[in-house]
A and B are shown apart, each in its own frame.
Chain A
Amino acid sequence: MSSPNRVAAAALATAAAGLLVGGIALAIFWAPEDADQGFSQKIFYIHVPVALTAYAFFGFGAWKALRLLSTRDSRYDLESYTAVHMGVIFGLLTLVTGSIWAKTSWGQWWSWGERQLVLFLVVFLFYSAYFMLRYSTDPGPRRERNSAVFALFGVALIPVSFLAVRIAGTILHPTVFTHDDGVAMPWEMFLAFCICLGGVLALAATFYRVELAGKRIDASLKELREQLA
């Protein structure tokens, strides 16, 4: 990494650490406890920001994919790939934290009635297939474009699956558990949540920069090796 990049990454990492520590401290010690879930509801301050970050990454990856298709500049390929890579990691974290939350509040590790989590599983499976597509296609413009088209399909799949899980939830599965976060939240909770969201986003941006730099170094190393061979 060049030095201005290094400064930016360090600043982002510091911001992420500060916001996350502050946000979690506020969430635990200051924000009021949830009336019926008690302390276990605190995982909300991590679970929801991580889920939103994963969606942000998928959206960002699709945007870079669109740029690749319109400009044919292969620089966007690595950027889109890194975004999807990070999105899958945050997606896995969302599934794990959601599962822990489900266990503490309903006594089950997995509930098909929890629509947001089911939607996430579909999206997670889809983006895991993105890696299979990438790994089994030879590097080159073909792979760049196929991956980009697949990443674009993802952002269409998210709203379509959202709708599907929603209408299925009304008939196929009993809707015993419903969360209505956001609107009815007291402002202390909402403030702590926003700080946590900012912290997770800053952390995600740091990861993205570091991972992108690593992938670029890998790619140029590979090129050098091929020239030597």
Chain B
Amino acid sequence: MSAYATDVATLARKDVLLELRSRDTLPAMLLFVVSALVVFHFALPADASDRAEIGLFWIALVFTALLGLTRAFAAEREQGLLDGLVLAPVDRSAIWAAKAISVVVFLALAEAVALPAYALFFQPVGWELVAAVVLADVGIASIGALLAAMAAASRSRELLLPLLFLPLAIPAVIGGVGASVAENPASFLGFLALYDAVFAILAWASFEYVVTE
């Protein structure tokens, strides 16, 4: 493994371990996504179409991701850890990559609960939905890790992040919903892959400017 990959793996392991020990964010995300699905069941009229349910699933997913992202840099901020990380002899973009990986892990765990719950409450889950969710996770985590670092530097952190994040999440929602309702999901999955690539490269390249003092 190259030095860069080792740095990323070590930093990501740190985030996952920290979460496993403190159990701050993950239980909240799991409970939130299930509660949101239950609320959505009552928000829909009894004769609502299956397509509306898919839309609500994506809303639940985006808001669960937001919940996780608002806490993504909590430890760094509260303990002044970010200064230490920036001083450490690692490439700054490795900090972003590790944070994005840990966000993907938490999101995947939340979805491992959300998808079966959705299948139980609403309708069977097709392969297109799973594929779209996996692809959207990568994009959401890439953008989210960068925006969370930006929001952590501001005065109104928890308030700011959704405002920054939601307009950028609109293409992911279009791709995700489209993959489930369209006749040919391939074009929407391809679009999601493009979205991931564009924003992951951009976030990877620009993270250094966000954390340097």
> Are A133 and B154 interface neighbours, CB within 8 A?
yes
Q: Whole-angstrom distance between the alpha carbons of A136 and B175 in the complex?
A: 31
Chain B stretch 185-211: residues in CB contact (< 8 A) with chain A: 187-188, 191, 194-195, 198-199, 202, 206, 209-210
Which residue of chain A has its CB nearest to the CB of B192?
A: A164
Contacts of B50 in A (CB 8 A): none
Contacts of B171 in A (CB 8 A): 157, 160-161, 163-164
Least CB distance from A42 to B in Å reads 32
User: In the complex where A129-B164, A157-B167 touch, is A167 in contact with B188 (Cβ < 8 A)?
Assistant: yes
Chain B stretch 170-186: residues in CB contact (< 8 A) with chain A: 170-171, 174-175, 177-178, 181-183
> Are B202 and A153 interface neighbours, CB within 8 A?
yes
Q: Whole-angstrom distance between the alpha carbons of A194 and B119 in the complex?
A: 55
Interface string of B145-158 (1 = CB under 8 A from A): 01000100111100
Which residue of chain A has its CB nearest to the CB of B155?
A: A136
Select which of B175, B195, B210 is within 8 A of A145 by beta carbon. Answer: B210
B interface residues, how many (CB within 8 angstroms): 36
A165 within 8 A of B: yes
Q: Is the interface of B mostly helix, strand, loop or mixed?
A: helix
Interface string of A165-180 (1 = CB under 8 A from B): 1011001100000000
A37 within 8 A of B: no
Contacts of B195 in A (CB 8 A): 160, 164
> Are A136 and B160 interface neighbours, CB within 8 A?
yes
A-B residue pairs in contact (CB < 8 Å), sample of 24: A123-B167, A126-B168, A129-B167, A136-B155, A138-B155, A141-B213, A145-B210, A146-B153, A149-B150, A149-B206, A150-B164, A153-B168, A153-B199, A153-B202, A160-B171, A160-B199, A161-B170, A163-B191, A164-B170, A164-B195, A167-B174, A168-B174, A168-B178, A171-B182
| Chain A residues packing against B (C-beta within 8 Å) | 69, 122-123, 125-126, 129, 132-133, 136-138, 141-142, 145-146, 148-150, 152-153, 156-157, 160-161, 163-165, 167-168, 171-172
| Chain B residues packing against A (C-beta within 8 Å) | 143, 146, 150, 153-156, 159-160, 163-164, 166-168, 170-171, 174-175, 177-178, 181-183, 187-188, 191, 194-195, 198-199, 202, 206, 209-210, 212-213
